[in-house]
Structure 1
Amino acid sequence: MKFPRRRRDPVEVNLTPLIDVVFLLLIFFMVSTTFETRQALELELPESAAGTALEASPVTLVVTERGRYRLGERELGAAELGEALSAEADQARLHGLVVEADARAVHADVVRALDQAGALGVRQVRIATRETQATSTQAETP
């Protein structure tokens, strides 16, 4: 007896659900990842031997060597500094203001930032520094 052969449908792998899952995972990781933007800013803080470590302030103003300012995520020029600081003035009065000025920054740019903070009533201002490097060439006594 001869049986008729059934025709088999060609086997296909449906990749659409796999692609959907991959895109959903990609979107999830992009949204849930926090990006550290402060690492991109190359800032060389001046050294200080008498500095003490303090907790971070929620209001940090960065002065770059080119005379630009960064407050939070915003990069500002000298003209926009007063308006941006006034938006953060309540937090700065409550917790203080940390000024992170590059060691190569012009002194006038730092003073301009301090003047703006003083005009807004911010009285607790700290200037960020880094520890001095211990010299290894000190004479040892036997």
Structure 2
Amino acid sequence: MPRTRRDPVEVNLTPLIDVVFLLLIFFMVSTTFETRQALELELPESASGLAAEASPVTLVITAEGRYRLGERDLSAAALGDALAAEAEQAREHGLVVEADARARHADVVRALDQAGLQGIRQVRIATTEASSTQAETP
């Protein structure tokens, strides 16, 4: 009796790869990413402020006078160069300045001056909603 030749057994990995890609896409879509590091900022209050959409270019000014653009901590001297790198996107979408309520006025003016030198004309200053417990003055 002649021996029949068997074809080699192969495992089809295509369904397994499809499932792995579907899981990867599911986790990418369902995961929230925290892009901002927690800073202890106390934003000034505003009674007439309006909610605005988030801008991809946000400049943070701390109470100590330090600057942060994105994830980079900056000195006052490096602020101009850092804004120049983000100027195109800031001109298109605007710049949001998140200055601590205890920040010096000079630090905020320095940031606004550097933004003006880069041609950034749409600048918003972030505030918090005024609390209703304060007495209104006539």
- TM beyond 0.5: yes
* 1:40 Cα offset (Å): 2.0
| 1:35-50 superposed matches below 5 A | 36=34, 38-50=36-48
Tell me the residue number matched to 2:101: 103
Bigger CA radius of gyration: 1
SS in 1 for 2:55: coil
Gaps in structure 2 of 5+ consecutive residues: 1-27
Using the alignment, how far apart are the partners of 2:134 and 2:111 within structure 1? 37
Q: Secondary structure at the match of 1:84?
A: helix
When normalised by structure 1's length, the TM-score is 0.70
Stretches (4+) displaced over 4 A: 32-35
CA distance in 2, matches of 1:124, 1:60: 12
Cα distance in 1 for residues equivalent to 2:134 and 2:113: 40
| Number of residue equivalences | 108
Distance 2:135 2:75 in 1: 43
State TM-score, norm by structure 2: 0.72
1:39 Cα offset (Å)? 4.9
> Aligned partners of 1:113, 1:136: CA distance in 2, in Å?
30
Match of 1:11 in 2: none
Identity of aligned residues (%): 77
SS for the counterpart of 1:88 is helix
Q: Is 1:68–2:87 an aligned residue pair?
A: no
Q: Structure 1: 5+ residue runs without aligned partners? A: 1-31
RMSD: 2.1
Q: Which residue of 2 aligns with 1:78?
A: 76
Query: Deviation per CA, 1:11-36, whole angstroms, max 9, x where unpaired?
Result: xxxxxxxxxxxxxxxxxxxxx77663
Q: 1:66 to 1:35 in 2, by over 3 A?
A: farther
Does the C-alpha gap of structure 1 residues 136 and 129 become closer, same or farther in structure 2, counting only changes over 3 Å? closer
